[in-house]
Amino acid sequence: MARIVPGMTELTRPYWEAAREGRLVVQRCVRCRRLWHPPLHRCPRCHATELDWAPVGGRGAVYTFTVVDHPTHVALQDQVPYVVALVELHEGPRVLANVRGCAPEEVRVGMPVQVAFEKVDEVITLPQFVPC
Ligand code: ZN
């Protein structure tokens, strides 16, 4: 069974291209400088459509998480249990990803984590997080 990977759109393409190069980026408003994630077509604060992509350091903390014990798709049956976490980056935006590199029962809210890039194929590299 093939790995399930996120779909790429024109809106999200810069995020995935940066991840493939081992860089984590988030959208930034050119007008008010706000950062956010996931990508949007306009700034959630001032509604400007002049947007660019800002590199972020990839460090943050687990904001909330869940441990998935029951696969929601047959392709995930060999991966349970796994952790799906909302990671709050030091720069502010929150990124949904898996936490790897520790047992699921070791994950805690507030746990410091850093990005770790997991290459799936030639197109998709997933930004994941590991304890730091
Ligand atoms: Zn703005």
Task: Report pLDDT digits (tens) over 74-131.
Answer: 888 888 999 999 999 999 999 999 999 999 999 999 999 999 999 999 999 999 999 9
Which position has the token pair 């799906």?
84
CA neighbor of 64 nearest in space, from 95, 82, 85, 83: 85
In a domain, 2, yes or no: no
SS3 13: helix
Is 91 within a domain? yes
* Cα 90 to ligand 1 centre (Å): 19
CA of 106 to the centre of ligand 1 (A): 38
Tell me if 59 is assigned to some domain: yes
In the reported structure, the alpha carbon of residue 41 is separated from the centroid of ligand 1 by a whole-number distance in angstroms of 11
Structure tokens at 102: 């520790």
Q: How far is the CA of 50 from the centre of ligand 1 (A)?
A: 8
Is 7 part of a structural domain of the chain? Answer: no
What is the reported pLDDT for 2? Answer: 63
Ligand 1 centroid to Cα of residue 23, in Å, is 23
Domain contains 5 = no
Look at residue 1 and tell me if it is in a domain.
no
- Phi first, then psi: what are they for 16, rounded to 5°? -70, -35
18 alpha carbon – ligand 1 mean position (Å): 22
Structural domain contains residue 93: yes
For 60, other C-beta atoms within 10 Å of its C-beta total 26
pLDDT tens per residue across span 15-62: 999 999 999 999 999 999 999 999 999 999 999 999 999 999 999 999
Q: Determine the distance separating the centroid of ligand 1 and the alpha carbon of 98, expressed in angstroms.
A: 29
Q: Which two tokens stand for residue 2?
A: 């093939």
- Give the count of domains, the chain: 1
Strand order in the sheet with 35-36: 35-36, 25-29, 51-55
How remote is the CA of residue 92 from the centroid of ligand 1, in Å?
Answer: 15
In a domain, 109, yes or no: yes
* DSSP per residue, 47-106: ----EEEEE---EEEEEEEEEE-S-SSGGGTTT-SEEEEEEEETTS-EEEEEE-SS-GGG
Distance 64 CA to ligand 1 centre (A): 26
Ligand 1: centre distance to CA 49 (Å):
8
According to the model, what pLDDT value does residue 80 have? Answer: 94
Domain containing residue 118: 13-131
pTM greater than 0.85 (yes/no): yes
